[in-house]
């Protein structure tokens, strides 16, 4: 009996190590939007926006505002817009972009007074800002993703901006069960995997419902909206996932596979996501069937979850995970911890376990999505294949290799 208990505890400890992998990789999927750093400044204070540069603004090409443009996805999107010779401005919680071609506004997304000046002479708004998913702060998510987005919509209508492109997430339809080749007409999740996803659902709904709203000062013009749903964003300058995998592999915590290792998942190269955003903006025109809709934008090349993880860590010189833990056993342990937290809540207050059944599901179930609608109506096709994307990503993270000093 004692041996069985010790064996169970040993397995639980193994699962806790695997938990670190599951929880951190969950940001691939639920964190499809741009992560806002220094969120206290964003939500608790109001800043007078400041511009990095003042220059003549021609009207021959569209002028865009990228909300969250100093972050991972936002920066890649800004660079793609510049390559296309668009006029570009950034609105972010901090100034972290140094390019004389770009006006940078620092302000509070939830403040009308902060946001309106940044919308002057803007034709298209790309909204890809959100708090970090790992914070699990429901109040913060509601304030930024929902209330802040409603402020974006109202300010767009007041400033006469006619196009709004939202970075949403394919996870808005995911409930911990297999999704294979999922389409956009799947219903929103009734039991979202976390508070972040719950508020991303509310955010997408309010943006798409705003399609067709009249401009405040010119009712002859309408707001046109669209949502882009990427899944598992990765690539150069990834601030979290790649470095986390390397750190865990170096620490010897990249040994376990949850399930049989065959569950297929979408990972999406960040430059393909930026490309999809640009195509979405181009599809917004009066009478277009793309208006008021969401579109999946992925690499259109599903890959086994653990195979992707293995390619990243072996590409950096580490050993691939190889010990398989039964999916339902790990899920049961996560569920048991959840029940324990509920039972002891009256005595100990709220116990927070990041090792949740939903996080286990993310690493052990199928979740990949069809891009057929984006191909048909946005003329979307990935610019980079999965092999090219992984190679380009690894080339920018050579300092994380096993034979180098971690930075």
Tens of pLDDT along 77-88?
999 999 999 999
The tokens describing 59, both together, are: 């009207």
**If you average pLDDT over residues 364-376, what whole number do you get?**
97
Residue 11, pLDDT score: 52
Give mean pLDDT, residues 314-333: 93
Does an H or E element contain 269, and which? strand 268-269
- Supply the Cα-derived Rg of the chain in whole angstroms: 22
With bands split at pLDDT 50, 70 and 90, how would you rate the model's confidence at 240? confident
The whole-angstrom separation of Cα 94 and Cα 116 is 17
What is the predicted pLDDT for the residue at 52? 42
Q: What is the pLDDT of residue 369?
A: 98
pLDDT value, residue 342: 76
Res 47 pLDDT > 50: no
- List, in order of start, the domains of the chain with CATH numbers: 31-236+266-301 (3.40.50.720)
Residue 29 has pLDDT above 70, yes or no: no
pLDDT band at 23 (very low <50, low <70, confident <90, very high): very low
Which 8-state DSSP code applies to residue 137?
-
The structure tokens listed for 228 are 């882009």
pTM above 0.85, yes or no: yes
In this predicted structure, what is the pLDDT of residue 317? 96
Average pLDDT estimate for 218-238: 94
Q: How confident is the model at residue 406 (pLDDT cuts 50, 70, 90)?
A: low
How many Å separate Cα 278 from the centre of its chain?
Answer: 17
DSSP-based three-state secondary structure for 49: coil
Catalytic residues: 196
CB neighbours of 122 closer than 8 A, spacing ≥ 6?
63, 64, 65, 89, 159, 161
Q: What is the mean pLDDT of residues 189-211?
A: 95
Question: Is-contact 54 77, C-beta < 8 A?
Answer: no
8-state DSSP, 214: B
Pairing of the two strands 303-304 and 264-265: antiparallel
Least confident of 20-24, 172-176, 396-400: 20-24
């Amino acid at each position: 009996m004692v041996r069985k208990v010790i064996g169970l505890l040993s397995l639980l400890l193994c699962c806790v190590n695997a938990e670190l992998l599951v929880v951190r990789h969950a940001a691939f999927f639920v964190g499809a939007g741009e992560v806002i750093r220094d969120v206290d400044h964003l939500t608790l204070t109001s800043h007078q926006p400041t511009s990095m540069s003042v220059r003549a603004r021609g009207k021959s090409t569209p002028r865009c505002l990228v909300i969250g443009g100093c972050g991972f996805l936002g920066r890649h999107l800004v660079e793609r817009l510049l390559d296309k010779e668009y006029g570009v401005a950034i609105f972010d919680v901090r100034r972290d972009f140094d390019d004389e071609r770009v006006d940078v506004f620092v302000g509070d997304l939830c403040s009308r007074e902060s946001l309106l000046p940044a919308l002057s002479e803007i034709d298209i708004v790309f909204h890809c800002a959100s708090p970090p998913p790992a914070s699990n702060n429901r109040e913060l998510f509601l304030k930024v993703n929902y209330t802040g987005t409603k402020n974006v919509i109202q300010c767009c209508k007041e400033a006469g901006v006619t196009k709004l492109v939202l970075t949403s997430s394919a996870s808005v339809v995911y409930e911990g069960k297999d999704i294979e080749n999922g389409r956009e007409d799947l219903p929103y999740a009734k039991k979202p995997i976390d508070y972040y996803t719950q508020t991303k659902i509310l955010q997408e709904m309010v943006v798409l419902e705003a399609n067709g709203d009249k401009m405040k000062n010119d009712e002859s013009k309408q707001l046109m909206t669209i949502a882009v749903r990427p899944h598992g964003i990765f690539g150069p300058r990834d601030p979290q996932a790649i470095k986390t995998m390397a750190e865990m592999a170096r620490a010897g915590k990249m040994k376990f596979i949850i399930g049989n290792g065959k569950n297929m998942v979408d990972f999406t190269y960040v430059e393909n996501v930026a490309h999809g955003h640009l195509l979405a903006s181009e599809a917004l025109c009066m009478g277009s069937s793309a208006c008021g809709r969401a579109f999946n934008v992925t690499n259109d090349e599903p890959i086994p979850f653990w195979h992707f993880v293995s390619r990243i860590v072996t590409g950096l010189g580490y050993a691939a995970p190889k010990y398989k833990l039964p999916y339902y056993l790990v899920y049961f342990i996560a569920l048991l911890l959840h029940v324990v937290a509920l039972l002891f809540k009256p005595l100990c207050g709220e116990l927070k376990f990041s090792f949740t059944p939903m996080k286990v599901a993310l690493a052990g179930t199928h979740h990949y999505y069809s891009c057929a609608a984006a191909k048909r109506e946005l003329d979307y096709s990935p610019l980079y294949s999965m092999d090219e994307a992984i190679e380009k990503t690894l080339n920018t993270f050579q300092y994380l290799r096993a034979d180098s000093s971690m930075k």
